[in-house]
Amino acid sequence: MADANINYNTAVNYWESTTSDVNGVLGGYGEQTTLPQVEQQGSLKFIKKLKSRMLMNKDEEIMYGRRVMDFGAGIGRVTKNVLYKINEGNPHQQTMRFDLLEPASNFVDQMRIDLQPVNEQGLLGDIYHMGMQDWPHNVQDGSMNNKKYWLIWCQWCLGQVPDNELIYLLERCKKLLVKNGTIVVKENTINSFGLDEQDEFDPQDSSVTRTDNKFRWIFEKAGFNLIACERQKGLPEELFPVRMYALKPRED
């Protein structure tokens, strides 16, 4: 199994050796390329199609706010350019709070700088400097008390987590969603045209690229319904296909 080769320390060491900018977090496809803008617009279009399925109970909004989690947040690029813009100019934005999770210390330092405008508006929530495998059970500061999420966004990070741990992570996330909460997964994938396609391990950053079928199996095992799936358009042909999956907890 490709995921058996994943090593958390190797992954963190790799990312802490890269530059703390868009070029670093996107593996060389920085602002000098069209990739950042194209993929950000793809995310915004995808979430716009889901809005009618993300309505929030007013009582829950008063109690929890529209809290968003950005997993594997890097320097905060997705929060700044996608998640922050979901309700931009809408009264709902005032109830939004953006939490971020990132294990690489250089990225955490940079996100605090890049997200200063969000912080000044009182919309920046908690920053968790830890791996996904440690969240939320190893959070000791009390910041997870009475917290529920409207949206949990996982982008280009789940390949750092083995299959069984990913299922466990999604199960933990399920318990932290509001009643109509949503998880979005945006990841590199391998097209699954048959049963012989296999996940691929990358020793450089100690990550695995999963097949589309593997992701769907993991979502099912974790107790989620897949309500929407799209392939990101406009990315360089040499890259793996990138797919966006929208998940809702299954009512068993």
Q: How far apart are CA 220 and CA 5, in angstroms?
A: 23
Tell whether 155 is in a known binding site: yes
CA 34 to chain centre: 21
To 10 degrees, what angle do helices 163-175 and 212-221 make?
A: 50
Tokens, residue 178: 């509001």
116: Cα within 13 Å, side-chain hemisphere: 4
Q: How far apart are CA 139 and CA 143, in angstroms?
A: 8
- Residue 202 · residue 214 · CB < 8 Å: no
Tell whether 132 is in a known binding site: yes
Coil, helix or strand for 165? helix
Kind plus residue range of the DSSP H or E element containing 81? helix 77-81
Provide the residue count of the chain: 252
Task: Please enumerate, by residue number, every residue annotated as part of a binding site.
Answer: 72, 77, 132-133, 155
Residue ranges for the binding site for S-adenosyl-L-methionine?
Answer: 72, 77, 132-133, 155
